[in-house]
């Protein structure tokens, strides 16, 4: 299992809190938030909490947005100095300001250029380079296959597919059959992503697509123990019912808050915790109340109190929710 890169969510405090669900000897891959190769060479950890990184974060695979060799090279050098074990290139982000720079999913509009961007990254590092992509600008599997084969030829070590088109953003449903078809045709590993919400979905994704790893985003923030899926020692501690699941989610939020308080200034901690709760609470009965209550918190002490009080009500966790956010 791997956590998906998510702006505002996959920062060091969330990662560290999630790592506690894995035995120390077990290694996963950990994304960063999406980092701009134009800005990264000039950013410092002190001024930019998004790039704050701690040693226990082993297996770090930072995600880079880029399309120009000098920026990509300088960014990768910096990420290697921080201990990055691989580099992921973002070819999936459909947000307007990213498209204006012609990176993110815009790169899927030009297969030859996307291939050359991958080559730039591969030339800049001896570590593996992966690419996270979408189904494309339109739903056309032949195009997607040729595009991904170009990345493979360019030296990508693996690809992650979130099978939605750029236009879909996060609407509609992810078409897992594209993951299966890509896996059948590529030589490099394929990581499957999209709409995995619970243990049964992880099984279903693995068995229906034969993908090499499952990447989970939003639901893993609500059920962080699932990062240990398939690891016997971790699975022994999985919660046994919806009430235990909810309590464990509550403890995860408090651990994320501990780490955020340690690493970041209070205003940033509050903002990021609210964002985390916004995206993870929909699996919880009355999750909207947890979100509304924590939004009232004026400082981290109140935030902690609101979380602790809410979970005294013994809420329940659901397997699935409507993923429209
Ligand atoms: C708030 C948010 C921010 C995201 N930011 C990124 C990002 O920076 N880079 C990226 O490749 N995908 C990003 N994604 C997409 C996720 O990585 C993932 O592909 C998507 O949420 C589908 O997986 P899921 O259904 O398991 O959440 C983001 C998703 C969310 C919800």
Compute, in angstroms, the gap from residue 91 CA to the centroid of ligand 1: 12
Is the CB–ligand 1 distance for residue 196 below 6 Å?
yes
Compute, in angstroms, the gap from residue 217 CA to the centroid of ligand 1: 6
Rounded-to-integer distance, Cα 78 and Cα 45, Å: 11
Whether the CB-CB separation of 30 and 231 falls below 8 Å is answered with: no
The secondary structure of the chain in percent helix, strand, coil, rounded to multiples of 5, reads 50, 15, 35
Burial class (CB in 10 A: 0-12, 13-18, 19+), 14: buried
Pocket test for ligand 1, best of 170, 216, 279 (most atoms within 8 A of CB): 170
Q: How far apart are the first and last CA of the chain?
A: 22
Residue ranges with strand state E in 116-229: 129-136, 158-165, 190-193, 213-216
CA atoms within 13 A of residue 109's CA, in its CB half-sphere? 13
Compute, in angstroms, the gap from residue 81 CA to the centroid of ligand 1: 26
pTM of whole model > 0.85?
yes
Q: How many angstroms from the chain centroid is the CA of residue 207? A: 22
Q: What backbone torsions phi and psi does residue 129 show, to the nearest 5 degrees?
A: -120, 130
Compute, in angstroms, the gap from residue 34 CA to the centroid of ligand 1: 10
**Structure-token match 């999750």, residue found:** 287
**Strand 60-65 to 30-36 pairing:** parallel
> Nearest to residue 30, comparing CAs of 63, 60, 65?
60
Is the CB–ligand 1 distance for residue 195 below 6 Å?
yes
Domain residue ranges of the chain, discontinuous segments joined by +:
2-235, 242-311
Is the CB–ligand 1 distance for residue 130 below 6 Å?
no
Compute, in angstroms, the gap from residue 174 CA to the centroid of ligand 1: 12
pLDDT tens digits for 59-118? 999 999 999 999 999 999 999 998 999 999 999 999 888 888 889 999 999 999 999 999
CA angle 238–244–248, rounded 5-degree value: 70
pLDDT tens digits for 132-141? 999 988 889 9
Q: Which atom of ligand 1 is nearest to the CA of 9?
A: 1
Pocket test for ligand 1, best of 4, 29, 320 (most atoms within 8 A of CB): 4
> At the fourth CATH level, which superfamily is domain 2-235?
Aldolase class I (3.20.20.70)
User: Hey, which residues are catalytic here?
Assistant: 93
Name the maximum alpha-carbon separation found in the chain: 56
Is the CB–ligand 1 distance for residue 34 below 6 Å?
yes
Is the CB–ligand 1 distance for residue 166 below 6 Å?
no
What pLDDT tens digit does each residue of the chain (325 aa) get? 999 999 999 999 999 999 999 998 898 999 999 999 999 999 988 888 888 888 656 899 999 999 999 999 999 999 999 899 999 999 999 988 888 888 999 999 999 999 999 999 999 999 999 999 999 888 899 999 999 999 999 999 999 999 998 888 888 899 999 999 999 999 999 999 999 999 999 999 999 999 999 999 999 999 999 999 999 999 999 999 999 999 999 999 999 999 999 999 999 999 999 999 999 999 999 999 999 999 999 999 999 999 999 999 999 999 999 876 5
Is the CB–ligand 1 distance for residue 104 below 6 Å?
no
Residue 98: its pLDDT value, please?
85
Quick one: tokens of 73? Answer: 């090279």
Is the CB–ligand 1 distance for residue 89 below 6 Å?
no
Residue owning the nearest CA to atom 19 of ligand 1: 162
Length of the chain, in residues: 325
Q: Which atom of ligand 1 is nearest to the CA of 34?
A: 8
CA angle 16–34–48, rounded 5-degree value: 70
Residue owning the nearest CA to atom 29 of ligand 1: 6
Those residues whose C-beta lies under 8 Å from the C-beta of residue 244, and which sit 6 or more positions away, are: none
């Amino acid at each position: 299992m791997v956590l998906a890169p998510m702006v505002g969510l996959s920062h060091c405090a969330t990662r560290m809190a999630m790592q506690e669900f894995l035995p120390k000897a077990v290694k996963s891959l950990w994304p960063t938030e999406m980092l701009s190769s134009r800005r990264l060479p000039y950013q410092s950890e002190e001024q930019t909490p998004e790039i704050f990184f701690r040693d226990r974060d082993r297996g770090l695979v930072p995600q880079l947005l880029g399309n120009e060799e000098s920026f990509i090279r300088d960014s990768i050098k910096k990420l290697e100095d921080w201990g990055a074990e691989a580099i992921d290139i973002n070819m999936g982000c459909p947000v307007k300001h990213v498209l204006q720079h012609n990176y993110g999913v815009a790169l899927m509009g030009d297969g030859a250029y996307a291939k050359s961007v991958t080559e730039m990254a591969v030339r800049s590092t001896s570590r593996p380079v992966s690419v996270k992509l979408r189904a494309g600008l339109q739903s056309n599997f032949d195009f997607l296959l040729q595009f991904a084969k170009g990345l493979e030829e360019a030296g990508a070590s693996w690809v992650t597919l979130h099978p939605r088109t750029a236009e879909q953003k996060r609407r509609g449903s992810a078409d897992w059959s594209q993951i299966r078809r890509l896996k059948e045709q590529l030589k490099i590993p394929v990581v499957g992503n999209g709409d995995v919400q619970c243990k049964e979905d992880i099984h279903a994704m693995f068995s229906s697509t034969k993908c090499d790893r499952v990447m989970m985003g939003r639901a893993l923030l609500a059920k962080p123990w699932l990062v240990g899926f398939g690891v016997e020692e971790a699975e022994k501690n999985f919660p046994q019912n919806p009430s235990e699941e909810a309590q464990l989610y509550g403890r995860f939020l408090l651990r994320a808050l501990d780490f955020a308080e340690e690493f970041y200034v209070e205003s940033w901690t509050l903002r990021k915790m609210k964002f985390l709760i916004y995206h993870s609470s929909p699996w919880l009965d009355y999750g909207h109340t947890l979100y509304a209550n924590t939004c009232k918190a004026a400082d981290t002490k109140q935030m902690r109190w609101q979380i602790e009080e809410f979970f005294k009500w013994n809420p329940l966790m659901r397997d699935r929710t409507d993923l429209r956010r």
